[in-house]
Structure 1
Amino acid sequence: MRRSRLGARVFSRGHVGAFLALAFAVFGGGTLVTAGAVLTETGLRAQVPPERLAHAQLLVSAPQRVPVDEDFDVRLLDREPVPADLAERIARVPGVEATAADVTLPVSVSPISDSRVRSALTADAHDWAVAALASPPLHGSAPAADSIVLTRELATDLGESLSTGALETGDRVDLSLGDTRREVRVAGIVDAPGAAVHLSTATVASITRERVDLIAVRLDDGADTDTVAEAVRDAVGPGFVVTTGDARGAVEALGVGNARLELLALATSIAGTLPLLVGCITASALATAIAGQRRELALLRAVGATPRQVRDLVAGQATVAAAVGLAPALLLGYVLAGWCNTKLAAAGVVSVQLPVVVSPLAGAVVALLTLTIVRVSARAVALRASRRPATEAIGEAQVEPRPPTRVRTGLGLALLGLGVIPAFAALVIRGEDAFLSAASGTLAGIVGLALAGPVLVRAVTGRLARGTGEGAPVTRWLAVRQTRAHALRSAGSVTVLALAFSVTAVQVYAQSTLERATAHEQTDGVTAAARIVGAMTPVDLADVAEVDGVEAAVPMVSTSVLRSNRWLGETTTERFSALAVGPDADRVLDLDAVAGDLAALRGESVALDATTARRWGVGVGEQVALRLGNGEQVDPVVVATYQRGLGFGTVVASTDLLTMHGLARSYDTVLVQGDAQAIDGLEAWADDRPGQRVTPLTADAALTTERPWLERWLGVVVLIPMLGYVLVAVAASLRTTTRRRREEFATLRMLGATPRQVLSMVTREAVLLSGLAVAAGIGVAVLPMSILGAGVLGRPWPQGPLWVLPAIATILVVIAVGSMRGTTGRLLRRSVSP
């Protein structure tokens, strides 16, 4: 073992450049993977302390998830309700001082002055009994059936429209709650966080109908929280969750739990993809480093080293180099995770900013995973060299390794074909499945290129060599024949260059194609004259419908549904995006119906994307088993199937279906059909409502919200460091490969070649390798993206900024020429003999 470690140090000194390249590959990749791992741990473990319910030591809620056999449970994105009478059962538990049923109700509040309703604000209302658990400072009295309590902040905001300033106790306001509007008195002003409006328990009960969001529990002074929590669990039974400590924050604010889910999904996708990328680049760096040691490894075999000792030596070298790059990578990864978390929350990609969990767990997992990948890769790369007989190994060390076997080449060509075939799915199926299929094939194509690359490079350069006659410049002649003679070396350079090209093309064009396809379907599918964005109550919707010139006002709510299905004897549960629309949806939307009629979308009914309906085996007139966003099981009737699933989601449900099960208490958007007078009237109506925005919809205006821009921003955030890492790793690999050619350059100099001619030859080689890489990248990535564009938009070319292709091609040429020419110049300036 000691001799192996000593040998590793000696060999590393002789090949510092190659192992520095490996150390950098581990450093760049380790930084990105660590950031992904830290964000993954944050999504799993981050806690936000409660605010509004901080004085309730216990919160009792529904599980907020759907259990799935032999798989991870699926989280519900909307609040799963609990029975209101659960509070009475909990109140009888020893140690419990008080309980309160909490529910969030959207309300619209307008101050009244001079018998005129002033500017209206939309806010959240809660039961005063919940706020009373904290005994907050109250100026005035508790609310009754005909009165409310406002927070001081909301009272100030409402008073801005009055000349008298902030509202005070005794003032009158217009309150819209549910589908009713009434004038109520401000009974009190309270300094309390969270809720803006407080209602009486009787008022809340008349709306919620014995179903609430959660039960807040305050304990007796001196009561042990854990003991009482266990007693409450026994009292309520296994169907409910009792939460204590900082975990209450995710129960109080559903957005916290959803943000953890969103961050976890993003982080795991990044942390799951990057190890593959890092593995490819690390393996390439290892192959380059070990190829430069073939002579030394052959000599070791000649003096009696066993194959295992050779592999141990190589693995030891790789581990030392990896450790050098890994240590700073772990530290920088934690910093990068914090920066990414802040930017994701600021851009709205995750609903709430979570505190980053800083623990040694993520770093330890990344270190173990990285070192394992490096050691396994090193042993795999050294396997062939370690098994060769000593005499053959010495002879082989002087020449280019044997050409790849037919099996390897055949497998590579097969993978190249399989990389393109999934893209054709876009010609048959619609939706996000087509995008995932097209993008996933790129990885298979890159692996196929790595396997079949030497044969393809030899074939292409063979044709170029036949076209380069004796009259061609000597540097061009040498460049083509050197590339062909060292096809294995050339193929490695082409593969890493093509990887950079392909990663960029897929990341840019898959997202831009999805965005354009979505916007195209929304543009064609929205026939409304205007859109109102902002939380609105049913009373607000009625006001909009009464504006002169308005022919139809259709509310919309973005939500999700779950569907369970049995596949190969196992039950799987998936979440699907859904859109709920009100009556008269056919007057503002054209979903390109395949069967049925959108006008029938009332009551317990849904419409399905046609591809999804075929996959589920459901037709018009049949019932489909679904779970709503709050976990309620429903069996609505399918009244229509449609084509524009990308623009409007997999499921379009009736808002009646949601309201009957405690959802859609407010609306996200309202589409309005009407004339020019209606738009003028809506804009005047919105002038008194700061929370609503009216946007006229022209013929080329899409319904698209800000989300595609956020997704594009996220793609750029992920792409820039990933692409930077790949490009720098490519440069390091090319420099290392060029350094191995010192004897070749010395031989050319002895034969009379000038330094300028050698540099010219290397420059032409770099341009040739870059050209081959761009051509390979076009076949591996651009071709599938073109097929995708033809399938979803009828345009057989990449959908997005076409300047990206020449830009990345130019960058690859600059990196290849700069790396190879710079290294060659340094070698030529040294006094090197063969």
Structure 2
Amino acid sequence: MIAWAMVRHRFASFAGTFVAIALGVAVVAGSVTLYLSSRPEPPERYRSAPVMVQAPSVGTNDFGEPEIRSWTHDEMADISEKLRDIATVIPDPVFYVQEEGTQDQGTARIDGHAWSSTALGGYRLTSGRKPDKTGEVVARKALNSRLEVITAKGPESWTVVGTTDGPGYYVPDADALGRASGVRVIGLTVTGNPAQAASEAQALIGPAGTVRTGADRAVLEPEEITRIRWLGAQLLIALVTLGTFATVFVVASTCALTAAQRRRELGLLRAAGATPGQVRRLMYAETTLIALLAGLVGAPLGALLAPLLAGPMVDFGLEPPGYAATWQPAAVGGSILLGLLVALAGVAVAARRASRVSPMAALREAAAETRAMTPARWVSGLLSAAAGGALLAAMPSMPTASKSTAGLGAAMLLLTAAALLAPVVIGPLVRLATAGWRGSATGMVVREGTLTGVRRVASTAAPVLVTVGITVLLTGMIATIEEAAGIDGTAQIPAATVLAPDGTPGLSEAAVQGQPGTSRLGTRVLITRGQQIVGEDAVGEAGAPVTVTPEVGVGLGSPLPLRWADGTIDTLTVRRIDPDAAAPVVLPRELVRRHDPDALTGMVVLAGDPRPAAGARALSARDYVQEEIDEEGRLVDLFLWVLIGLTAGYTAIAVSNTLLMATAARRPEFRALRLAGAGLGQVLRITTAEAVLAAVTGALLGGLVGGLSLTGVRAAVEDELGQDVALVIPWEAALGVVGLCVVLAVVATAVPVLRRSATSAA
């Protein structure tokens, strides 16, 4: 009852906590709704095939996905023959096809299909006839029109002999089998019980494949789609993580300030007989009520906003075409519960500290605050600083792969230390900044008011410190790495000009043939090492001997047992070991093309004037590398600014709430100034100067920590490249965030003063 009365009658004191929790719950609810709506699902083109057979798995690839091998033609024919008695058997080869003049949207590699596979999706012929020979296609195009396309072979002209209600391009079955890099999926259309048919099918084929039915068919989602979903999932997970920690930070800061301002009130409760445990339970109960109210507001808001974000996520390539956010009760309920747990975690320290204040000490307290640094704060701050400094010092001796992670960890520890130890450095910084204000009455008031309210200033500076530090670190790290990537990428291309894909996922065979220069045809092979089979990236180079890197683990002159993309097993002899090879395995180009008809070439390093080709263009090596960086940077920048935006939003809440509460609590002080002859303008100048001083102090500390951490990241990059890399400081982003924090601080202090002035005038 007491907790409810406190919340009801003093809700303004809890407004910052309420907004922080509501925002955090909304971010979590929206992100989890989007995440759960993006779970892998059976491909739409298999909707009429309740039973599917997948080729055997041989482990996992670098993305944690199953490494599936292809069946050979003989294996596929044998499986089909065994299954014909229980279902209609439809192999599903897929291949690359793209209309000339269009841009690849990430799915062109799987847009080509065999005509018979239309039955797997329940698609029908809406006009015309099925394709009977090479050069004929069924598609969503005008009947009898000519379709100019690019395939792995090169430009082709097809005749649309039929139209269908299904997406993609459908060619004769034999043509599709010849174009595809093997077959990994066979569909079964059954008339009886799918579960029974699946059981019978598995018994018939044994280890030659895995039978999947129902929701289990979701694993058949194409890798291209799965990786798009993976990108979106990383952003959503980052949002949930950052939102959770930021909520804890804001709630902890707000509750600590609230507890400090309520010392007399809590002391009165203690004097009336309340035990420390009862004081703690009171604060927990108040926070629980606020968290539940905030959750009931934030969770539905996040769930309602999630569908509005589905379209932009598809546009940015973070979700596949056709993605839509759906109602997810677990996201709403889970976010409310998480908001409650986060709020209780944030109030824990403040509640414990409040419960330890003796009744008489609280009642005797003057307006001046107590010591800003407690023993626990000293210990935590110094330990964090020592750990962060130790990480930076140890980075030169760390493995190269661990240096970037260590740099980020050091930054987080140093930011935490700076936030905890801020009251220690605020005094000297304030004295230095106000050294020239001694002759001004306003300057003297600002100086002494700030020095006697170090805890208040530290509470304001802390969120600014963290935001500026994170902004400097993240934007500077990305800019430094992009600069280094440009240097490294250009160094790896020993020519002034390259022939690169133009809106396509790669160069066709026709585009590469006759070009003056060298090229690499990308593929993937499965290598047998004793009893283990592993997948490795490989490239085909004209006239190249069989070459492997030392990591492959095969010696010079040793046999290299491998399985090609089409499922064929072969054994080659290793002719060269090269640690700087273009890929783990380098093979003769003609062998790669023979066994992987759908393979594409990444680029051609030109040694002369290029020959014009469809889906290709010539550009300098530097421009090619920069375009690659820009394409990857587009997503990185999106991630970066979303995270910085969320951090800045929480900073706005923390700064505004801290200053609103602190300024409101200083009304007697401002009343005394007015009685002493200070005008409203002078009071506003005092509060504005104090707010700017606090924000700038936090910005300086945050920028210092961020810049120091960047030096560690640069050292890691330089070690990886073996050359000097310029340290890029993101001045525009840092100054923009500092400016935002200063404006928020000024507004948050002016509002209570103006409101009080207006009330007094009335």
> Normalising by the residue count of structure 2, what TM-score does the alignment of the two structures yield?
0.82
1:465-476 equivalences in 2 (<5 Å): 467=435, 471-476=438-443
Give the CA deviation at 1:106: 3.8
Give the CA deviation at 1:448: 1.3
Q: In 1, distance between residues paired with 2:244 and 2:117?
A: 48
> In structure 1, which of residues 521, 527, 536 is the aligned counterpart of residue 488 of structure 2?
521
**Contact 2:520-2:602 within 8 A present in 1 as well:** yes
1:623-638 equivalences in 2 (<5 Å): none
Q: In 2, distance between residues paired with 1:737 and 1:637?
A: 75
Give the CA deviation at 1:22: 0.9
Q: C-alpha offsets along residues 591-629 of structure 1, whole Å, 9 cap, x if unaligned?
A: xxxxxxxx97x535248xxxxx7xx99999999999999
Q: In 2, distance between residues paired with 1:425 and 1:273?
A: 27
**Contact 1:334-1:358 within 8 A present in 2 as well:** yes
Q: In 2, distance between residues paired with 1:792 and 1:494?
A: 32
- Look up the equivalent residue of 1:317 and give its one-letter code: E
Give the CA deviation at 1:25: 0.9
**Contact 1:59-1:215 within 8 A present in 2 as well:** yes
Give the CA deviation at 1:126: 3.7
> In structure 2, which of residues 638, 641, 650 is the aligned counterpart of residue 716 of structure 1?
641
**Contact 2:389-2:410 within 8 A present in 1 as well:** yes
In the alignment, structure 1 residue 56 sits paired with structure 2 residue 49: yes
In the alignment, structure 1 residue 338 sits paired with structure 2 residue 307: yes
Q: What's the counterpart of residue 709 of structure 2?
A: 784
Give the CA deviation at 1:159: 1.6
Report the CA distance shift for 1:321/1:606 in structure 2 as closer, same or farther (over 3 A): same
Q: C-alpha offsets along residues 292-338 of structure 1, whole Å, 9 cap, x if unaligned?
A: 21111111011111112111111121122223322221122124433
Q: C-alpha offsets along residues 357-414 of structure 1, whole Å, 9 cap, x if unaligned?
A: 4211011111111101212322331112213332233334754233423453243134
User: RMSD across aligned C-alpha pairs, in angstroms?
Assistant: 4.7
Q: In 1, distance between residues paired with 2:118 and 2:347?
A: 63
Q: C-alpha offsets along residues 178-197 of structure 1, whole Å, 9 cap, x if unaligned?
A: 7xx99999796463634524
> In structure 2, which of residues 468, 475, 486 is the aligned counterpart of residue 501 of structure 1?
468
Q: In 1, distance between residues paired with 2:478 and 2:634?
A: 10
Q: C-alpha offsets along residues 99-134 of structure 1, whole Å, 9 cap, x if unaligned?
A: 122222347999xxxxxxxxxx99954444434666
* SS of 2:186 mapped into structure 1: strand
> In structure 2, which of residues 137, 143, 147 is the aligned counterpart of residue 150 of structure 1?
137
Gaps of 5+ in 2: 101-107
Give the CA deviation at 1:722: 3.8
In the alignment, structure 1 residue 821 sits paired with structure 2 residue 750: yes
- Look up the equivalent residue of 2:343 and give its one-letter code: V
The sequence identity of aligned pairs, in percent, is 20
In the alignment, structure 1 residue 32 sits paired with structure 2 residue 27: yes
**Contact 2:55-2:209 within 8 A present in 1 as well:** yes
> Normalising by the residue count of structure 1, what TM-score does the alignment of the two structures yield?
0.76
In the alignment, structure 1 residue 215 sits paired with structure 2 residue 183: no
Q: What's the counterpart of residue 567 of structure 1?
A: none
In the alignment, structure 1 residue 654 sits paired with structure 2 residue 654: no
Q: In 2, distance between residues paired with 1:806 and 1:539?
A: 44
Q: In 2, distance between residues paired with 1:420 and 1:631?
A: 53
**Contact 2:128-2:143 within 8 A present in 1 as well:** no
Give the CA deviation at 1:496: 1.3
* SS of 2:541 mapped into structure 1: coil
Q: In 1, distance between residues paired with 2:355 and 2:671?
A: 29
**Contact 1:61-1:82 within 8 A present in 2 as well:** no
Q: What's the counterpart of residue 421 of structure 2?
A: 452
Q: In 1, distance between residues paired with 2:698 and 2:160?
A: 74
Q: In 2, distance between residues paired with 1:364 and 1:555?
A: 52
**Contact 1:102-1:127 within 8 A present in 2 as well:** yes
1:359-438 equivalences in 2 (<5 Å): 359-396=328-365, 399-406=368-375, 408-419=377-388, 422=391, 433-438=402-407
Q: C-alpha offsets along residues 152-177 of structure 1, whole Å, 9 cap, x if unaligned?
A: 4478697267xxxxxxxxxxxx9987
Report the CA distance shift for 1:791/1:227 in structure 2 as closer, same or farther (over 3 A): closer
Report the CA distance shift for 1:546/1:629 in structure 2 as closer, same or farther (over 3 A): closer
The total of aligned residue pairs comes to 739
Q: What's the counterpart of residue 3 of structure 2?
A: 8
Q: In 1, distance between residues paired with 2:272 and 2:214?
A: 66
Report the CA distance shift for 1:704/1:436 in structure 2 as closer, same or farther (over 3 A): farther
Q: What's the counterpart of residue 348 of structure 1?
A: 317
- Look up the equivalent residue of 2:689 and give its one-letter code: R
- Look up the equivalent residue of 2:20 and give its one-letter code: A
Q: C-alpha offsets along residues 680-701 of structure 1, whole Å, 9 cap, x if unaligned?
A: x32xxx2xx3xx0313216565
Q: In 2, distance between residues paired with 1:308 and 1:41?
A: 41
In the alignment, structure 1 residue 757 sits paired with structure 2 residue 682: yes
Report the CA distance shift for 1:232/1:462 in structure 2 as closer, same or farther (over 3 A): same
Gaps of 5+ in 1: 1-5, 111-120, 162-173, 565-570, 585-598, 608-612
Q: In 1, distance between residues paired with 2:262 and 2:575?
A: 70
1:476-491 equivalences in 2 (<5 Å): 476-491=443-458
Q: What's the counterpart of residue 164 of structure 2?
A: 191
Q: What's the counterpart of residue 287 of structure 1?
A: 256
* SS of 2:273 mapped into structure 1: coil
Report the CA distance shift for 1:542/1:390 in structure 2 as closer, same or farther (over 3 A): same
1:606-685 equivalences in 2 (<5 Å): 606=549, 639-641=577-579, 653-654=585-586, 659=592, 665-675=598-608, 678-679=609-610, 681-682=611-612
**Contact 2:316-2:635 within 8 A present in 1 as well:** yes
In the alignment, structure 1 residue 541 sits paired with structure 2 residue 509: yes
Report the CA distance shift for 1:518/1:537 in structure 2 as closer, same or farther (over 3 A): closer
Q: In 2, distance between residues paired with 1:331 and 1:756?
A: 43
In the alignment, structure 1 residue 696 sits paired with structure 2 residue 619: yes
Q: What's the counterpart of residue 22 of structure 1?
A: 17
Query: Which deviates the most, 80-89 or 423-432?
Result: 423-432
**Contact 2:467-2:647 within 8 A present in 1 as well:** no
**Contact 2:490-2:625 within 8 A present in 1 as well:** yes
Give the CA deviation at 1:560: 11
**Contact 1:428-1:791 within 8 A present in 2 as well:** no
Q: C-alpha offsets along residues 571-596 of structure 1, whole Å, 9 cap, x if unaligned?
A: 9x999xx9754427xxxxxxxxxxxx
**Contact 1:622-1:638 within 8 A present in 2 as well:** no
Q: In 2, distance between residues paired with 1:184 and 1:753?
A: 85
In the alignment, structure 1 residue 492 sits paired with structure 2 residue 459: yes
Q: In 2, distance between residues paired with 1:510 and 1:377?
A: 30
Q: C-alpha offsets along residues 665-719 of structure 1, whole Å, 9 cap, x if unaligned?
A: 32152223132xx23x32xxx2xx3xx0313216565253222223223322343
Q: What's the counterpart of residue 799 of structure 1?
A: 728
* SS of 2:627 mapped into structure 1: coil
- Look up the equivalent residue of 1:827 and give its one-letter code: R
Give the CA deviation at 1:261: 3.0
